[in-house]
Amino acid sequence: MKLSGKVALVTGGGRGIGRAIAQRFAAEGAAVAVAGTGRRHLDATASEITAGGGRALALLADVADESAVARMVDATTREYGRLDILVNNAGIAGPTAAVAETRMDDWERTLAINLTGAFLCAKHAVPHLISARAGRIINITSVAGLIGYALRSPYAASKWALIGFTRSLALEVGVHGVTVNAIAPGSVRGERIATVMRDRAASLGRTVEEVEREFYVDPTALKRMIDPEEIAATAVFLASDEAMSITGETIGVTAGFRL
């Protein structure tokens, strides 16, 4: 098992990519704390892990709230005695709207969760990861952080910035043996992308099926969307000793989106 004896904290761990990562980490031997704002989903993920013989802890926390982040990290280290891996996965889709029609509060909330949340989690986790001497930070950005993304500027801006944060933090903590990398998923099947497709279809006066094909399937080399478990597999690799010399990188898992 690639993560035996490790302790991981996964934000946004109740659903989608975060849930898949938490489950895969537990299957690889890690004790996992899953954090987020939806108690029902967090408890369900933790229960699934423990039912399979793993160790899991569910924690309520809004990553945009520094005091909540501090409590989340403290609760994890109190429960398990250490912290080896932080996965900054918590995020929101933000509005689907032209820049001229985007509300300020939607812009600010998207950046607060998607970018500031990752900063706050890293800020409070780094001392523990340094103590581990081989700590890992994995930031879940997006292919939207590598391209232009019309009608989704708050989301794209937050994901572009997260890549810059990844590279900068990697330079700061590398001397302590801590690696910092990002995964840039393409279109991942699940509740979030379904909502995004509905909103885009409504804004363009198109059907959801047309939007899915034109914007999320046809631009890929593999002509398909991807599953959360495919992101989890890459996260396991980056969290493992096999990736100890990889840092400051952004790895795309996109089905070849716009190659």
Domain CATH number, residue 27: 3.40.50.720
Give the DSSP H/E element, type plus range, for residue 251: strand 250-253
In a domain, 80, yes or no: yes
Residue 177 has pLDDT above 90, yes or no: yes
Instruction: Report yes or no on 200 lying in a domain.
Output: no
Percent of the chain past pLDDT 70, that is, above it, reads 100
Q: Is residue 96 part of a domain?
A: yes
Count CA atoms within 13 Å of residue 237 on its CB side.
Answer: 14
Is the residue at 215 inside a domain? no
Residue 130 lies in a domain: yes
User: Model confidence over 75-128: pLDDT tens digits?
Assistant: 999 999 999 999 999 999 999 999 999 999 999 999 999 999 999 999 999 999
Query: Range with the lowest mean pLDDT among 34-38, 167-171, 255-259?
Result: 255-259
Q: In the predicted model, what is the mean pLDDT of residues 198-209? A: 92
Distances, alpha carbon 4 to alpha carbons 33, 43, 52, 135, 241, in Å: 15, 23, 15, 14, 11
Q: Is residue 143 part of a domain?
A: yes
**Which residues participate in catalysis according to the annotation?**
155
pLDDT for residue 133: 87
- pLDDT of 168 reads 98
CA-based end-to-end distance of the chain: 34
Number of structural domains in the chain? 1
Pairing of strands 7-11, 179-185: unpaired
Q: What is the pLDDT of residue 192?
A: 84
Q: Which domain holds residue 47?
A: 7-188+226-253
196 pLDDT band, cuts 50/70/90, is confident
Question: Percent of the chain, pLDDT > 90?
Answer: 93
As a whole number of angstroms, the distance between CA 222 and CA 219 comes to 9
Residue 203 lies in a domain: no
pLDDT score of 191: 86
Stretch 230-238: mean pLDDT? 98
Is there a domain that residue 218 lies in? no
pLDDT of 113 reads 98
